[in-house]
Structure 1
């Protein structure tokens, strides 16, 4: 018997009325319907009582309104023109509105007359009497004049008292009806309580018989099973889900008895599977660690190829990269391939041969050469290989090339092995792309260094050479016109310009040769200050406070060092100072100050000294490069202070 018919025989479909869910749902739905009916009756009676109570209040208020109307009419008759006429008419309108409200009802409040014919007919007669007799009589009192008003008022008063008595009668009828409904409300509440108690008892019994007792039997069986008593069996006494669960428990016990003897074999199989997974993890870890090491492309590909050949037991393999935009496939590394095959396929068109086709399709492919009709003409088959497999090299979605595994015999790959090779191809692709990115980064660093040198030469040396060029032109002009005295005056200026340009070149070369030793910014700054003091003879000091919350990168430290060197150069050229102080405060924020006691300048005005302006401009550019703030404080005769500040947020971002 197959597994599906056996399962169908052991677990036949359960009739709908015998299903545990149907019985529990039926009991709960029945109890819910009874509870909803009782709650609905209670809510309906409560709503009726609230509406009748509001009707009692509104109907009872008619008595007060009738008496007020009579009072207003009397005052209007005895004191005409005192404004009681409009108040009486407003009172008539209020009585009209009250009668209409009670007659129509208001479900929002709620308000409404009880649904009793006697009460509704009595109220309708009351409203009709008001409209037919009482209301017209009140209006005639307001419209009459002289003695006629008094007579009409007396007639109204004689009609008002019986009308108020009729209102009292209706109020008592509503109150009597409320007493009956209150009795039924209490009765429905008591019935709801009884239903809750009875339903709870019934549900507890139902849950105990349907769920608790079978679960206890199942729990006892599981406890025996946990004590290695595989001979325990449960009695199947129902045809519901618990009956099938007991059947399944018995089948599980039978299966455990059979499996328990072959447990060692299962353990060996699982152990072998775990060993395979551990080998895969070891290969992935070893390959990832190797590919992350600093190395060039060919040794990296050769090491990668050596690892996967050893893992899969391949007889040969290769790594080929696609040349972007040229549709060429280049052989970067190989092992185990014949020399003539290597020379012939060192650079092949995209789509040529088996490897080129795999690179073109960008899909993993395995060729069993013995089963291919024209395989004998391929270089791989002529070299004695029976299986050629090609797997892609990707960096995210960018296709970089293929790597191949060659086997002498037929080799098939499991899905797990193909997934492993796909992962290895992506690891290699990421490593290759990292090499390319590192090369681009070095190119950008060299380009930036060249730009920095060019800017330094242009901003410092070019101006000095331009000055010398002007002086030479003036000297040539003086000699041509025989003005020896004027030529003699130009020569010292030329000598001073040449000396100044020579010193600028020396200083610029020293700055460009500056390097940080062991990423220690303070040591580099202290060395620069000491060199400045030795070269110029100016008293210069350096101090540093704090250890810093976050270190600067080497590029940022170099920019700070260049700013200090440029500031010291400006002091040498322009300040005429005899004392310089460089101070570093390295806490959450980084602060650097360079102060001198020289002649100073007006920092708020546009300087006429182009050389000084160029130096300040260079320092400002370097500060912006590391997202720092550069400030200059200077006054004529009071020295100059340059402050560099790097906020904690910018430092964390760096």
Structure 2
């Protein structure tokens, strides 16, 4: 018996025992049948052998009695008697296979002669009758034992069936009745047990399904909570190290798509917030912008909040919208919008996570705005303080020197005014006037402020101011509204543009000028072009000091200044890498390395 058979027997012991009992009963019945058949066959053989021996003995006696009168007839009777002995089936079998007892074997050997005595034949017949009776007794005893075992097996089977089918099921069925469970009717005990078992199995399966459903819900909530914490940790770590960038926001939105199980997502920002971050007003991963964002203006989207079902303009399909305002008590910066089909069920936990992310973004934007404003105010206060110090010290000294030089020139005799002394005095006066003019320009530079709305508004003010003071038409083409610049970078760019446009207005004799700001995602280029007579770059020129200021500010930006003078026109090009683009490059390089 192999392992599979043993496992099967352990799994179905009752059925196996029943089969074994039935097999034993069948074997006993077969044994009883065989015994009866053997008994009948042996009885017939023994009776036939006894008859044959009896007939042979009678014929031998008759032959002996007539041997003297009719020898031929006696011989025939002897031959017939011996043929009866030799042709008997049982005797032939014993001669070939062996007799059951030594006595019978000896007597059979004696009968091999042609003339066997009648007494010998009678003795053999008597011995055969005795052997037949003994064999029949043994077979009868075997039949009795077999019948007893058969009845015992039938009794055991009936008793086991009663225990298995009546006594053992009665207790659980009675307990079911006690707890109020109605035992269903059935054709028999097994049918009732099967019905009860099916009901219990169905209830167990229902409870298992419910347990599995609750387990899936709990696991889903736990996984969602873990992913939410991981996402919050990620965004807080990113915003703690660096200001929000387009790449950071798109990566955040991409992770939110999978976490919230929505189809489309976007961060809609107000124009000032977008300029502050250096991104578009609508930030969305590639091909994942919600339909509602493209169908409505930004001001309409700012009013969205909570969970809504809105129709799509291009079809009658309803869209499920999750919106969370990006705001702080002092103002609103935008709105975070998720869009999905109506088949996707949005839960309160999804909206709560969206509102939490929106709150974190709002706080980051608020901190960045406050930081930029504070740095701008600090820088302007420092520059104003320096301007006041220069005005109170160096400007007063130059004014005093200018007054004293005027007094000196006034008291010089006429003959000395045309001599070397007069020329030196005039050269000193020109130097003082130049220094005073440069000081005024320096004070103007220090007192120049950056508009609260950023560089674009500052350049527009400079262009409008210089255009109103001259006949030069100045226009500004700002293509870097989405590039975030620091306060120092805005001040340096503003001063470079002011110096360049001042030179154009004063010296270029131009009719128009164009200021262009552009970016190729690696660096920013500021170009000032005019249609005048060009710029003289040799030292000692009238506007050499302004060019020096532009070169110095270009170096402060970490960039380079190129001056191209043509007839007609000139072109000043300043190229530098803003801190925000350099930071994005470092982050991208670090991500690639990791």
- What TM-score, normalized by structure 1, do the two folds share? 0.29
Larger Rg: 2
